[in-house]
Structure 1
Amino acid sequence: MNRYESEAGLLGAVMRDQKQLENVKDLVKPSFFGWHPHGWAWKAILKLEDQKMGIDVITVGDELDRMGKLSEFQTYDTKSPDRVGLGHLRTNGKPRNAVSYAANVVDYAAKKTMTDVFSQGSYWAENGRHAADIKTDVTQLLDDVPTFSTKTLQHTDSIADAVTMASNRTDRASRGEIEYIKTGFKDLDDLFGGGLEAPDFAIIAGRPGSGKTGFLTTIAGNVARARKRPALFSLEMSNQQVAMRLIAAESGISYSKQKSGKLTESEWADYHEGAKKVKAYDIELNDLGGITLSQMRQELRRMGKVDIILVDYLQLMRAEQKHGTREQQVGEISRGLKQIAKEFNTPLIAGAQVSRGVDGRKDKRLILSDLRESGSLEQDSDIVMLINQLDKANPFIIDLAIAKHRNGAVGIVDLIFVPHLTKFENATKRKVIFQ
């Protein structure tokens, strides 16, 4: 939709349904319109609204006439009277799209302003001004560039609208049109109702050395193998180390063997085949230690669209604010990760440490309260998964407890942990569902 169409759409939508003005009146100024008659019409609409008058093509025409600007609308059709020209506007916009039209109007105005600012900066640079002065002035001018996001305005619906959206979603699910992000663990995906869905915020928690990193890297590989695009933020390991783990899982050549380089001829063949497959994965890796929420947002914008975000692990992130207790800082990070999942419309799984209090208990099964700095983590998350190794005779059987599931069942899923390859696999035993 071009600039002219967006402006005409907004004016038409508001003249057809005055209630739409409430959502956009404080965000769109007459100067934002590229075609001057549109700007005059918007000024007339705002004046009528300020006077508590009705807004339609007749009252707007009357106000434009009082302003001496009605004749401008002959441009629509030079053979038509002024009011007929204005009346064409009313056929352009759908009221339900008013916010989208407004966003486009502001966006076009912002881009025009930025073009002017950059042209001015270029002129200054070519005419001898110091770079530092140009930067200061350009930055100040850019601060005045209008911006408008539809996100805030599109979170209010009537119950009728919400039911319609819910019904449409169920219909799409029945036709197999909902695109879940599958973890690759069949029983877990079944328990989730088909897989993870944006904006699920999930926690995978366990003791040190219990396999949290292996769980996340396994999911990264499974998602990439399904031709999806995961982003893995590794705060403990370098990107190279993550790649070596992914190669181990794909090739069967352990991390330690890769590190030593002591491979047989057949192992080299397996290694190269595995490395070739991993190299073809569309995985975004980031190994910035102590990453903050704002840095993560910046990196995600640079990465472009991703299908799932994986964070290893939450307590290693750095809070933006240094003050407060560690529990308060973790709460800030937890809320921030939940918001990131919503902002980028993608599921997010974050690893988390558990407290050492479980070591002093007779029953070693993890529970929600074992989450270190658990209050906010338990509250903010949609899903909490707890890694338990309870079978002493077979420590490779993992009892994965889904202790919290905001939108579904909780239960237990058995997985197999392959320690020398640091990966998880499906087990044959089925899940146990708790009500």
Structure 2
Amino acid sequence: MEASDLLRKLPLSVEAEQSVLGSILVKPESFERIAGQLDAEDFYMEDHRAIFSAIQDMFLKNRTIDTVTLVNALVQGGYRDETGGIQYLTQIAQVVPSAANIRDYARIVKEKALLRRLIAACEEISEEAYSEQGDVSRVIDAAEQRIFELTQNKGSREFRHVKEILAGVYQELVDKAEHKEVDQGVRTGFSDLDRVLVQLGPADLVLVGARPGMGKTSFAMNIAVNAAKSTGKAVCIFSLEMSGEQLVNRMLSSEAMVDSHALRTGEIRPEDWQRLADASAMLAGCELLIDDTSGITVADMKAKLRRVKNLGLVVVYYFQLMQASKNIESRVQEVADISRNLKIMAKELSVPVICCAQLSRGPEQRESKKPMLSDLRDSGAIEQDADIVLFLYRDEYYKDVKGAKANVEVNTAEIIIAKNRHGALKDVKMSWNGQFTKFVTMENQGGVGGAG
């Protein structure tokens, strides 16, 4: 194919690229409005890439940006005649329609770049399909992954210089310092716990472990509902043990503050119906998606999650019921494979993934019944892959056990932060209401409202 033909056919807008650069020259502070939105590689023209890269560098060094200083930066960076010098920079500054529209120009540049990457991805996918090599399902999964990455603006790329990443990070810090609204991940909705964790960040794998009967399901569902209400984003729940109907009954009990036993037996009091109606309306307005497929694999999860728009959080209940994507004889290796792929999924989807897990009988065999990292079943790989490990412990669960301590705390749960890649390790006490399958921050235990 002729170079001129390739130039004609590939999606690009030289005018939009010029307008982005010209807007910055006319109004340097406008760069802050697109910091992190564009990379130098999004520009098709090589000279435009060099100019944008130099602007990023000058911004990070807090240097004045104008035609003279930019030309000097380009020369120092090894670009001399390739970018057209001060004459070309002056020209694009003069022809830009309006610096106020820089975000629109940047959007066009980004869209054209994504279309070019889509063309490249489709060509690679076609070559793999024509080769007829490898398992078909793996080829399809790889194709889905490539397209999904593009929709998330995360297409595979080469090394990025730190200055490209710093521009977006720096602007986010400025926004936080100025108390502007910044997407800071997902909060649990429990204020005491959030003060320690701050947030469940994108790509975080969060393990919630406990012995049976401690309230793992309720805790995870409370967080799921809190996140759906506070973020407005989709929260996807994979329930490998309980049916969707059982989970929704628990949600209704927690949100309406109606006895969970009454919901199972149908012995609902007249005064409960209005609260149930209000809770139903609230839940129906949330983007809560439930999949109760048994024995699902991480690959199956990813295929379903890629089709969910505005995904905010994934909850998996529970770990030991999951299946590996391939046949593995050793359970330890199988657990390690599932754990590793859950972490990869969290990173690829750029959302926190909460996974509940059963603990071994270790706590029952010790004087201290509080769980430890060594109680994770089958493999230490779970501990290694998880960014955050939370253990649930309730004193009263062991009150009838021989040798139990005299002063047992009732209706109280401890959230033990056993691992926190981002911060402190601490025990957080919360109120537990088994009647309503609800955890409540201690400061709010007197009310019937939200969990935070």
Please give the range of the TM-score, normalised by the shorter of the 2 chains: 0.5 to 0.7
- For 1:282, the equivalent position in structure 2 comes to 287
Whole-angstrom CA distance in 1 between matches of 2:44 and 2:252: 58
Change (3 A) 1:363 1:4: same
1:412 partnered with 2:435:
no
> What CA distance in whole angstroms lies between the structure 1 residues aligned with 2:267 and 2:327?
46
Q: Deviations over 1:227-265 (max 9, x none)?
A: 343111111111111111111111122232112212222
Deviation at 1:15, TM superposition (A): 5.6
Q: Relative to structure 1, is the Cα distance of residues 316 and 3 closer, same or farther in structure 2, using a 3 angstrom cutoff?
A: farther
* Structure 1 counterpart of 2:214: 210
Provide the secondary structure at the position in 2 that maps to 1:410.
coil
Q: 2:382 aligns with which of 377, 393, 396?
A: 377
Give the whole-Å Cα distance in 2 for the aligned partners of 1:348 and 1:354. Answer: 19
- SS of structure 2 residue aligned to 1:178: coil
Structure 1 equivalent of residue 443 of structure 2 = 428
Mapped contact 1:416–1:424 kept (Cα < 8 A): yes
Aligned to 1:346: 351
Query: What is the Cα deviation at residue 287 of structure 1?
Result: 0.6
Alpha-carbon distance in 2 for matches of 1:426, 1:155: 45
Structure 2, unmatched stretches of 5+, are: 1-7, 18-41, 53-80, 85-91, 97-104, 126-135, 400-407, 445-452
Shift in Å at residue 278 of structure 1?
2.1
RMSD: 4.0
Gapped runs of 5+ residues in structure 1?
21-54, 59-87, 115-135, 430-435
Q: Partner of 1:409: helix, strand, or coil?
A: coil
CA distance 1:165–1:276, shift in 2 (3 Å): closer
Aligned with residue 13 of structure 1, among 45, 50, 58: 45
1:251 aligns to what?
Answer: 256
Q: May I ask how many residue pairs the two structures share in their alignment?
A: 337
Rate the CA distance shift 1:3–1:404 in 2: closer, same or farther, 3 A. farther
Q: What secondary structure, in the 3-state scheme, does the structure 1 residue paired with 2:301 have?
A: helix
Q: Aligned-pair distance for 1:335?
A: 1.2
1:105 equivalent in alignment to 2:116: yes
Measured against aligned partners, the alpha-carbon deviations of 1:180-204 in whole angstroms (never above 9, x if no partner) come to 31211001111122x2221211111
Residue aligning to 1:219: 223
Superposed displacement of residue 357, structure 1: 1.9
CA distance in 1, matches of 2:250, 2:228: 14
SS of 1:413 mapped into structure 2: strand
For each residue in 1:328-373, what CA deviation from the matched residue of structure 2 results, as whole angstroms up to 9, or x when unmatched?
A: 1111111111111111111111101111122111111111111112
- Three-state SS of the structure 2 residue aligned to 1:414 is strand
Residue 178 (structure 1) aligned to one of 182, 192, 199: 182
Check whether the contact 1:6–1:102 (CA below 8 A) recurs between aligned residues: yes
Which is further off, 248-257 or 184-193?
Answer: 248-257
Contact kept, 8 Å, 2:373 with 2:418, in 1: the verdict is yes
Q: Deviations over 1:53-97 (max 9, x none)?
A: xx9699xxxxxxxxxxxxxxxxxxxxxxxxxxxxx9xx99x9xx9
Q: Corresponding residue for 1:330?
A: 335
Deviations 1:398-420 (A, max 9, x none): 11111111111111111111112
Which 4+ runs in 1 deviate beyond 6 A?
55-58, 97-100, 109-114
- Check 1:12–1:428 CA distance in 2 against 1; reply closer, same or farther (3 A cut): closer
Q: Structure 2: how far apart are the matches of 1:15 and 1:164?
A: 20
For 1:11 and 1:264, how far apart are their aligned partners in 2?
Answer: 65
Is the radius of gyration larger for structure 1 or structure 2? 1
Judged with a 3 Å threshold, the aligned counterparts in structure 2 of structure 1 residues 190 and 264 are, in CA distance, closer, same or farther, namely same
CA distance change for structure 1 residues 235 and 155 in 2, over 3 Å: closer, same or farther?
farther
Work out which of the residue numbers 382, 388, 397 in structure 1 matches 2:393: 388
Matched ranges for 1:44-193 at <5 A: 103-108=114-119, 151=154, 153-154=156-157, 156-176=159-179, 177-180=181-184, 181-193=186-198
CA contact (8 A) 2:117 2:155 kept: no
Q: For the Cα contact (< 8 Å) 2:237–2:288, is it kept in 1?
A: yes
TM-score by length of 2: 0.65
How big is the shift at 1:206? Answer: 0.4
Q: Please state whether the residue corresponding to 1:156 is helix, strand or coil.
A: coil
Q: Are the counterparts in 2 of residues 216 and 310 from structure 1 also a CA contact under 8 Å?
A: yes
Identity of aligned residues (%): 28
Shift of 1:270: 2.8
Q: Does 1:201 align with 2:205?
A: yes
Cα distance change of structure 1 residues 389 and 249 upon mapping to structure 2, 3 Å threshold: same
TM-score (norm 1): 0.67
Deviates more, 1:5-14 or 1:172-181: 5-14
Of the candidates 297, 300, 308, which is equivalent to residue 303 of structure 1? Answer: 308
Displacement after TM superposition at 1:14 (Å)? 3.0
Question: Aligned partners of 2:110 and 2:172: how far apart in 1?
Answer: 23
Question: Displacement, 1:318?
Answer: 0.8
Separation in 1 of the partners of 2:427 and 2:158? 35
Rate the CA distance shift 1:110–1:152 in 2: closer, same or farther, 3 A.
Answer: closer
1:16–1:56 Cα contact (<8 Å) kept: no
Cα-to-partner distance string for 1:267-314 (whole Å, 9 max, x where unaligned): 233323322322222211111111111110121123322111111111
Map 1:21-40 onto structure 2 (within 5 A): none
Q: 1: distance between equivalents of 2:321 and 2:386?
A: 17
Q: 2:370 aligns with which of 365, 370, 374?
A: 365
Decide which of 317, 326, 335 is 2:322's aligned counterpart. 317
Question: SS at 1:310's partner residue?
Answer: strand
Distance in 2, Cα, partners of 1:278 & 1:185: 18
C-alpha spacing 1:324/1:382, structure 2 compared with 1 (3 Å):
same
CA contact (8 A) 1:399 1:415 kept: yes
Contact 1:206 1:354 in 2 (8 A): yes
